[in-house]
Amino acid sequence: MLRPYSDNILLSNEMLNRMVEYYEAAYENQDFQKPFSEGSESAIIIRVKINQFGRCQISSKVFGLSMSLWHVKSSYILAKFITSDRNVDCYPSQVQYYFSHTIDLSNRPTEYFLAYVRWYQPTDSPDIQYHFSDNEQTCNVKLWGTKFYPESHNCIIPLHHILGRFIPVNYRISTRWNAREYLAINPINRKYHIWQKISKFCDFPNFMIFLKISNFLNFTIFEKSSIFSSEFSKFWIFWIL
């Protein structure tokens, strides 16, 4: 966890309810409850204070939060979860804040490092979600809804579920009858190249997404011209500085 931070933040009653639900989902054989509430005698009483942080570092990556304009670009994260059939699914969200919370397990305090996030809703159909992919080419940019799910205990996640960051870009799909806006989710690493063949693979709307991405992350854009001209017409290289 990184500064800025605030210690001994008092949890609201609504947040206490979410913390109880979160720990009961994590520890299926253990009961938890708020202070001064009815429950079993063996239930663990949830502490009412947390330490709140503005940023966190996982390996070499630093993640921010939405409440800070300075770090809002690094608040868009992908979180990974293992499904019942042992597959790994990734979901986009925006971090609201990071915090640590201590509970008393087996008569000893245990501290957990967590994030409070808002989850983006998916699109109505897989065809829209995989709008940029086709039978010949798979694209890692996916479309999601622009709205969040309602807040619940599922907004609380351990930090080790954070996989990486993504770039959010508003993207509109227009038909003869209506137009609807989506969020284009583009996963990023710290440094990478995007090679895009303009003449074959990238129409104008898709190319505008890459331009918006470059502006979001302060790309330097280089034009590569003649070396592959016999096979390809034109490339753009995007490099994160």
Q: Between 99 and 217, whose confidence is greater?
A: 99
DSSP three-state, residue 134 = coil
Tens digits of residue pLDDT in 126-150? 888 888 877 666 678 899 999 999 9
Reported as half-sphere exposure (CB side, CA atoms, 13 A), residue 24 has a value of 15
- Contacts of residue 177, defined as CB under 8 A and 6 or more positions apart, other chains included, come to none
Q: Read off the pLDDT of each residue in 102-113 and give the average, rounded to a whole number.
A: 89
> Binning pLDDT at 50, 70 and 90, where does residue 209 land?
low
Q: Which residue spans within 73-226 are E strands per DSSP?
A: 76-82, 88-105, 108-119, 142-144, 156-158, 162-174, 179-188, 193-197, 220-224
Question: Burial level of 34, CB count in 10 A (0-12/13-18/19+)?
Answer: middle
> Binning pLDDT at 50, 70 and 90, where does residue 182 land?
very high
pLDDT higher than 90, residue 21: yes
Q: What is the pLDDT of residue 139?
A: 77
Q: Using an 8 Å Cβ cutoff, are 132 and 123 in contact?
A: no
Q: How many residues does the chain have?
A: 241
Tens digits of residue pLDDT in 37-76? 887 888 999 999 999 987 777 766 667 666 555 567 888 9
Q: Which amino acid is at 121?
A: Q
Percentage of the chain beyond pLDDT 70 is 70
- Helix (H) or strand (E) holding 167, with range, is strand 162-174
Give the span between the Cα atoms of 102 and 209, in whole angstroms.
43
- Residue 181's closest CA among 139, 143, 130? 143
Residue 227 neighbours by CB distance under 10 Å: 9
Q: What is the pLDDT of residue 205?
A: 52
Q: Using an 8 Å Cβ cutoff, are 197 and 223 in contact?
A: no
Q: Using an 8 Å Cβ cutoff, are 163 and 90 in contact?
A: yes
Q: Read off the pLDDT of each residue in 105-114 and give the average, rounded to a whole number.
A: 88
Q: Read off the pLDDT of each residue in 190-218 and give the average, rounded to a whole number.
A: 46
Q: What is the pLDDT of residue 190?
A: 44
